[in-house]
Amino acid sequence: MLDLLLKNATLPDGRQAMSVAVRGERIVEVAAGLDAPAHTVIDAQGLLLSPPFVDAHFHMDATLSYGLPRVNQSGTLLEGIALWGELKPLLTQQALIDRALTYCDWAVAKGLLAIRTHVDVCDPRLLAVEALLEVKKRVAPYIELQLVAFPQDGVLRDAQGLDKLKRALDLGVDVVGGIPHFERTSEQGAQSVKLLCQLAAERGLMVDMHCDESDDPLSRHVETLAFETQRLGLHGRVTGSHLTSMHSMDNYYVSKLLRLMAEAQLQVVANPLINITLQGRHDTYPKRRGMTRVPELLAAGINVAFGHDCVMDPWYSLGSGDMLEVAHMGLHVAQMTSQSAMRQCFDSVTANPARILGLQGYGLEAGCFADFVLLQARDPVEAIRLRATRLQVFKRGKLLAQTPAATSALYVSGRLGQIDWLSSAGL
């Protein structure tokens, strides 16, 4: 007897009329037309069943702090950083925990069940680190939270920077972070990359750095990151986040850089919602988009994810934990409108970030955990188009959240009608 049988689902790879059979916490079989007795049977009615959304780049210590202690009037990165500096001394552990837990509830409702969050380690009290370690423990039954030790103010700018980062790792933070473009000089930036990769190699940890998040075509720390990854044998364990300077780099140089990155099996996170608003702010017209070169990175065989980065914090006043909104923006900014590219955008908020986090048992195959989301869409492209309703969200075979289907009743010219948003039927 199965615990759960989900019938008549479409999977992200296009397979239709699929059944997913669950016993305990695991998927035991995925097959077309499978029918077997189960405690709970759900007819997906041809809708899309996806593995959960994954966010490979977030700042949970800042989330939902919008307006504290004041609103970012200019909406720029620099005012955001200044605002965060004003807010930090006012933070309390309880407020950090409360806001993070609220965000995690939002995430669950949106089918987002794994998040890699950076946590600022520049505060000598490590208040945010302790708060997010507590949150990680509390949400473990429903969200896989991975923490990155992130020296927001630069690890070498402060004589105690490296010590604080190491203390955060000692407390249980999972991943080594960095921000080389924010160190005082390019040389110090390169030195920070070397030092932090070395630290990760010594401790057997992964690396995820904010890297080259500027419009400066000569900000080239990603080159050092690829080189150190290669030198230390950290292949596949290092991620470059943002990489916005790649947008402005010389094309010839990028053709060389892509090969270095692929050789080091570097992984990449672009953050389209944030970088389309923050980059190019010193430009007049034409204005650069600023997002890293996603299609070219993918074509070079490099794993790329789209991250949310911020939700209602000093840098970004919008967002709701909806990774389909992130994919939607990424698709537009990168002009990824071919059929295969649109599907890649869906992968960039599901399977690709799952690889970056190193999630075990992720996917819709026998043996994987029974974690999945039923969407009010017939395929991944339609899911992005509609930012589709997450009808049901499952974790380890148990229902975590459900949202009623989006429908609209019409009263136009005396006509009573109902809108079927799934208008791609038959296309």
Determine the residue type at 245: S
Which of residues 38 and 311 has its CB atom nearest to Fe ion in the complex?
311
Q: Are 73 and 34 in contact (CB under 8 A)?
A: no
Q: Are 62 and 313 in contact (CB under 8 A)?
A: yes
3-state SS class at 223:
helix
Which of residues 10 and 72 has its CB atom nearest to Fe ion in the complex?
72
Q: Which of residues 298-337 bind Fe ion (CB under 5 A)?
A: 309
Question: CB of 297: closest distance to Fe ion in angstroms?
Answer: 18
Q: Are 9 and 376 in contact (CB under 8 A)?
A: no
Where does residue 329 fall: left (phi above 0), alpha (psi -120 to 50 degrees), or beta otherwise? alpha
Q: Which of residues 145-204 bind Fe ion (CB under 5 A)?
A: none
Q: Are 48 and 10 in contact (CB under 8 A)?
A: yes
- CA–CA distance, 28 with 41 (Å, rounded to integer): 15
3-state SS class at 160:
coil
Which of residues 80 and 161 has its CB atom nearest to Fe ion in the complex?
80
Measured from the Cβ of residue 197, the count of other Cβ atoms closer than 10 Å reads 24
Which of residues 242 and 293 has its CB atom nearest to Fe ion in the complex?
242
Find tokens 């499978």 and name the residue: 34
Question: CB of 57: closest distance to Fe ion in angstroms?
Answer: 6
Question: CB of 269: closest distance to Fe ion in angstroms?
Answer: 9
Measured from the Cβ of residue 166, the count of other Cβ atoms closer than 10 Å reads 16
Question: CB of 58: closest distance to Fe ion in angstroms?
Answer: 8
Q: How many residues does the chain have?
A: 427
Structure tokens at 347: 């992968």
> Which residue, among 411, 406, 373, has the nearest Cα to 390 in the 3D structure?
373
> Which residue, among 280, 284, 194, has the nearest Cα to 244 in the 3D structure?
280
Peptide bond into 124 cis (omega under 30): no
- The DSSP result for 16-50, as a single string, is -SEEEEEETTEEEEEEET----EEEEEE-TT-EEE
426: which residues sit within 8 A by CB, 6+ positions away? none
Query: With the C-alpha atoms ordered 343, 348, 354, 356, is the resulting torsion angle positive or negative?
Result: positive
> Which residue, among 148, 200, 149, 157, has the nearest Cα to 182 in the 3D structure?
157
Which of residues 153 and 309 has its CB atom nearest to Fe ion in the complex?
309
Question: CB of 118: closest distance to Fe ion in angstroms?
Answer: 6
Question: CB of 106: closest distance to Fe ion in angstroms?
Answer: 18
Question: CB of 46: closest distance to Fe ion in angstroms?
Answer: 38
Which of residues 62 and 351 has its CB atom nearest to Fe ion in the complex?
62
Which of residues 20 and 121 has its CB atom nearest to Fe ion in the complex?
121
- CA–CA distance, 165 with 183 (Å, rounded to integer): 15
Question: CB of 25: closest distance to Fe ion in angstroms?
Answer: 32
- CA–CA distance, 423 with 413 (Å, rounded to integer): 22
Question: CB of 274: closest distance to Fe ion in angstroms?
Answer: 7
Q: Which of residues 366-385 bind Fe ion (CB under 5 A)?
A: none
Which of residues 61 and 309 has its CB atom nearest to Fe ion in the complex?
309
Which of residues 56 and 302 has its CB atom nearest to Fe ion in the complex?
56
Size of the site for Fe ion (CB under 5 A): 1
Among residues 144, 213, 228, 325, the one annotated as catalytic is 213
> Which residue, among 110, 59, 84, has the nearest Cα to 307 in the 3D structure?
59
- 202 is an active site residue: no
Q: Active-site positions?
A: 213
- Please give the residue ranges that form the binding site for Fe ion (CB under 5 A): 309
